Structure 1
Amino acid sequence: MRTMTTGARRAPSLLSGLFAMMLALALPAQAFETRASSAFVLDQGTGTVLLNKNADVPLPPASMSKLMTLYVAFEAIRDGRLRMDEELPVSQHAMDYGGSTMFLRAGERVSVEDLVRGIIVLSGNDACAVIAEALSPDGTERGFARFMTQRAAQMGMTHSTFKNSNGWPEDGHRMSMRDLALLANRLILDFPEFYPMFAEREFLFDPNESQNRYNRNPILGLGIGADGLKTGHTQEAGYGLVGSAKQGDRRVIFVVSGLQTERARAEESEAIVNWAFRQFAEKEVLKAGTRVATADIWMGDAKEVGLVPFEDLNMLLPVLGDGTVEAEIVYEGPLSAPITRGDPLAALVIRPDGLPEQTIPLVAESDVGHAGFVQRVSTVGQLLLKNLREGPEGAF
């Protein structure tokens, strides 16, 4: 393991002790070579990005964009603007949608609960349009799509533009894989009361129209913890999936797009879940208050102060391979007194091989007061003598 420091002064490193021993177990994982043209894999608990392949490229999301319609619907239910037992009218526009449908008929009324299940399990294009027209600012699906685009931007989805409610092929209807993962994460965290519906494998809305009754998510029921969320397919987009699985205390969220067949989507999705859980493990790296370095103090009643993490540090780290983990203490120094215990002073930057770097704030371990008069005079004198000996280059 290598440790480095930057800034006006170099922090004496104590990382060769406990911290180094714990991180010495973190070795580079074998990268996952996906067949998907675009992919994103996220460990939810730690926020670690395990795989990023063209994840910020806006692409046709097909039915995966129905997740945004569901999110807006769930917000409306939570806010009391929509009720699960409320019945909404089916328009001719909604009925005219082809592809995956609930076989809704113009003029009938359908409960919001059935429509939500029809979107999640059956991928109903018609169900999306009914929800859209009910919640649209102007009563049209197009107006709802504009609202979805605005709401997505507020949520941090910077590469998402919606032209309809269901992902029907249309110029300009785009989402990135990172945006879809962000959306999936928000659905899981914001609406735990609705999320179990994503694991339902069958929904028979009309016994007379049973052609579309099974969830197309290929990893449900495989015993790998999969419990969501949404498939997608069009000729332009290929086969895609926004998936999630939970094993123990860990949850993985992933998005793949651009696969050539249903079988490839199923195989790739299962392989990603297995890889994410088997090749990485969450480990406690540092306890709060553990000194990892010291920083020099200018004009203080102590010459240095310990740097400690404010909170426990858990990281997702590879479990196979060999290599080193690089850590760096970054601060601008020397630091000026007074300093209060808990003041943010520095950052610990950790760079595991094959994973994004992680930055952890470090705070003061203890209080440091102003130096006394004699000590201040002595310090200034020593500095002047040092500058005289070394010239301008030796000055702070």
Structure 2
Amino acid sequence: MNRFLRPLTPILFIWAFAMPATAFDTQAKAAFVMDITTGTVLMNKNADTPLPPASMSKLMTLYVAFEAIRDGRLSLEEELPVSTHAMSYGGSTMFLDTTDKVRVDDLLRGIIVLSGNDACAVIAEALSPDGTEAGFARFMTQRAQQMGMTNSTFMNSNGWPAPGHVMSVRDLALLARHLIEDFPEFYPMFAETEFEFDGRAPKNTQNRNPLLKLGIGVDGLKTGHTVKAGYGLVGSAKQGDRRVVFVVSGLPSVKVRAEESASIVNWAFRQFVEKSVVKAGAQVARADVWMGGATSVGLTVAEDVVTLVPVLGNSDLKAQVVYTGPLRAPITKGDELADLVFAPEGLPETRIKLVAAEDVAKGGFLARLRTVSGVLLTRLRQSSEGGF
């Protein structure tokens, strides 16, 4: 079987636009930016490198907690006890102690707004298969793998420095997208700028996300910092019908994190516009079929494909159809058969699944004879050219 690279047929170049991308040169050690409205990746810097995520990993604890609430295993009104282990955490906390029993909704806000390490541990022990934070961390890792976060391993619930506790920025972006799309009822919590718990630490009530009050559409999600991880942020912003998710990690200071993150948001919304690539049902190309009632099958997209393109530029958007072929019959309409691969200059590539436009039945005797004859002719031609 061969890997085929097929250029788009000329008729589809009606959507080839002049557009080199204006690259964003980030100081972050790792960064990932995606327009989730179109699925366009705008930035990819060391996106799959596992790195210490610091408090950004609290997003996974929140996701598991939201699932438990949705499934009825936990309720917002339920009060949870605080263990000695949870109380022992330093760093950012809700200042909980073992005399407390805390409502789940307060714990959630304590994690989101105050970045409470102790609040994470309370949630973790309540949901852990064995009642321990370590057991919850193992569960988090398994759940993350199920969700496609293949570069994430958790050793605790809050990102406290621990050997082997890592996430990639792509995984963090995927997790952010899941939080936004899977739990719209809880997502507004991430935009809350202040939370005061029981009058404790009145000077420690502000959300650490520096972008929430800038008026640029940012409505989440989580900051993070340790000495080893540097300063990071998982953010999301919505302007008009577009939503962008972005992650930066390894920045040198709070100031740089705030400036860099705001610049990324402005760049993502101001330097790109939406363009239609291909309509659902339109044939993109045809792929060769092996032993079928037809010698080829049409390739199309199941849904309209829209991408982002730079506002200005002078080069064309080029695309290829990639598949392993020839494809073997039978083929059913709608089967995923190939990828449509394209990338504006300077941007990471985007891959869209192409599906069969029609059924192709398994061929009978004549089809098999035609296939064998074709193979023999190809080999004879190669032999005569010295390639066999």
TM-score (normalised: structure 1):
0.83
Q: Is the 1:136–1:147 contact (alpha carbons within 8 Å) kept by the matching residues of 2?
A: yes
Distance in 2, Cα, partners of 1:297 & 1:172: 47
How do 1:149-160 residues align onto structure 2 when only pairs under 5 Å count? 149-160=141-152
Higher mean C-alpha displacement, 196-205 vs 183-192: 183-192
Who is 1:20 aligned against? Answer: 13
Distance in 2, Cα, partners of 1:370 & 1:169: 60
How many angstroms does 1:133 deviate by?
A: 1.5
How many angstroms does 1:344 deviate by?
A: 6.5
Q: Is the 1:246–1:252 contact (alpha carbons within 8 Å) kept by the matching residues of 2?
A: yes
Structure 2 unpaired stretches of 5+? none
Q: Is the 1:86–1:111 contact (alpha carbons within 8 Å) kept by the matching residues of 2?
A: yes
How do 1:345-384 residues align onto structure 2 when only pairs under 5 Å count? 348-353=340-345, 354-364=347-357
Distance in 1, Cα, partners of 2:165 & 2:350: 33
- Secondary structure at the aligned position of 2:23 is classed as coil
Distance in 2, Cα, partners of 1:232 & 1:241: 6
Task: Give CA-to-partner distance per residue, 1:286-345, whole Å, 9 cap, x none.
Answer: 122334445689999999876544432222222222212222345688889998876767
Who is 2:209 aligned against? Answer: 217
Question: 1:311 aligned to 295, 303, 314, which one?
Answer: 303
Distance in 2, Cα, partners of 1:336 & 1:143: 46
Who is 2:183 aligned against? Answer: 191
Who is 1:79 aligned against? Answer: 71
TM-score (normalised: structure 2):
0.85
How many angstroms does 1:192 deviate by?
A: 1.0
RMSD: 3.6
- Secondary structure at the aligned position of 1:84 is classed as coil
Who is 1:3 aligned against? Answer: none
Task: Give CA-to-partner distance per residue, 1:29-84, whole Å, 9 cap, x none.
Answer: 12111011111112212322221112222222111111111111111111111110
Question: 2:154 aligned to 159, 162, 178, which one?
Answer: 162
1:330 to 1:97, Cα distance in 2 relative to 1, 3 A? closer
Structure 1 unpaired stretches of 5+? 1-5
Is 1:275 matched with 2:258?
no
Who is 1:70 aligned against? Answer: 62
How many angstroms does 1:277 deviate by?
A: 1.3
Aligned-pair identity in percent equals 64
AA of the residue aligned to 2:138: R
Q: Is the 2:272–2:308 contact (alpha carbons within 8 Å) kept by the matching residues of 1?
A: yes
How do 1:220-239 residues align onto structure 2 when only pairs under 5 Å count? 220-239=212-231
Please identify the structure whose Cα radius of gyration is greater: 1
Distance in 2, Cα, partners of 1:239 & 1:336: 51
Distance in 2, Cα, partners of 1:221 & 1:40: 23
Task: Give CA-to-partner distance per residue, 1:199-218, whole Å, 9 cap, x none.
Answer: 00001112253121000100
How do 1:81-160 residues align onto structure 2 when only pairs under 5 Å count? 81-160=73-152
Q: Is the 1:100–1:212 contact (alpha carbons within 8 Å) kept by the matching residues of 2?
A: no
Q: Is the 2:337–2:353 contact (alpha carbons within 8 Å) kept by the matching residues of 1?
A: no
Higher mean C-alpha displacement, 152-161 vs 28-37: 152-161
1:79 to 1:295, Cα distance in 2 relative to 1, 3 A? closer
Distance in 2, Cα, partners of 1:331 & 1:162: 36
Who is 1:327 aligned against? Answer: 319
How many angstroms does 1:363 deviate by?
A: 3.3
Higher mean C-alpha displacement, 95-104 vs 80-89: 95-104
1:339 to 1:54, Cα distance in 2 relative to 1, 3 A? closer
1:52 to 1:300, Cα distance in 2 relative to 1, 3 A? closer
- Secondary structure at the aligned position of 2:223 is classed as strand
AA of the residue aligned to 1:124: G
Q: Is the 2:321–2:338 contact (alpha carbons within 8 Å) kept by the matching residues of 1?
A: yes
Distance in 2, Cα, partners of 1:256 & 1:165: 20
Count of residue correspondences: 384
Distance in 2, Cα, partners of 1:336 & 1:64: 45
Q: Is the 2:149–2:171 contact (alpha carbons within 8 Å) kept by the matching residues of 1?
A: yes
